[in-house]
Amino acid sequence: MATGIGARRRLQALAHRGWSGAAIERAGLGISATEADLVLQGRPGVTQELADRIAAAYELLWDRRPAQTTASQRAEASAQQARAERAGWPPPLAGDEDGEIDDPNAGPAPGWRRSGRQTIPSAELVEDAEFVRRHGGCRSLKERAMRLGVSRDRLEHAYARAGRRQAAGTEREAG
């Protein structure tokens, strides 16, 4: 059962992906921009029905970006992502365990926030992705990439580079 704190955390995670209240409303999932914005602002007394609608919308949107076909939509998404970054809101899948998003005493998993470093060595990224796969329940490459805050393509390239380096190291040892 979804809660008010869970509704707010879900909307914060969606904001991290660029989803504004208006974009969620345009997605046609039964949540108005006003409702979403009030929940994000910490409005007390979120109804169970609204929390459940937000949870259902989150399940459909967490791994997607909002439409960005117009300059206005791109600006809106960019502004929402910047808002989430400034506020320190974690992205989808930053939680430690399923169900904790609704627990007021739980928070995001340690280490969810990326450091200031702009690049991550491929071997380290692959090591992190494998840890997330084994311990975080993220089976797909897309889920692991999202959990690590990188694109799916970036993670695929990291796996390929790490594999080439491992193969080259094995050849040197054998030679």
Which residue stretches of 27-70 are H helix? 33-40, 48-61
- For residues 11 and 54, is the Cβ–Cβ distance under 8 A? yes
* Cα–Cα distance, 128 to 86 (Å, whole number): 25
* Token pair belonging to 56: 């259902």
Q: What pLDDT shows up at residue 170?
A: 47
* Residue 110 amino acid letter: P
Write the pLDDT tens digit of every residue in 65-76. Answer: 999 899 999 999
Write the pLDDT tens digit of every residue in 11-60. Answer: 999 999 999 999 999 999 999 999 999 999 888 889 999 999 999 999 99
**Residues whose CB falls within 8 Å of the CB of residue 156, separated by 6 or more in sequence, listed in order:** 141
Burial 111-146 (b: 16+ CB within 10 A, else e): ebeeeeeeebebeebbebbeebbeebebeeeebbbb
Q: What pLDDT shows up at residue 126?
A: 87
Q: What pLDDT shows up at residue 102?
A: 79
* Cα–Cα distance, 13 to 24 (Å, whole number): 13
- For residues 24 and 61, is the Cβ–Cβ distance under 8 A? yes
- pTM beyond 0.85: the answer is no
* Cα–Cα distance, 139 to 141 (Å, whole number): 7
Q: Would you call 166 helix, strand, or coil by DSSP?
A: helix
- Segments making up each domain of the chain, as ranges: 4-102, 122-174
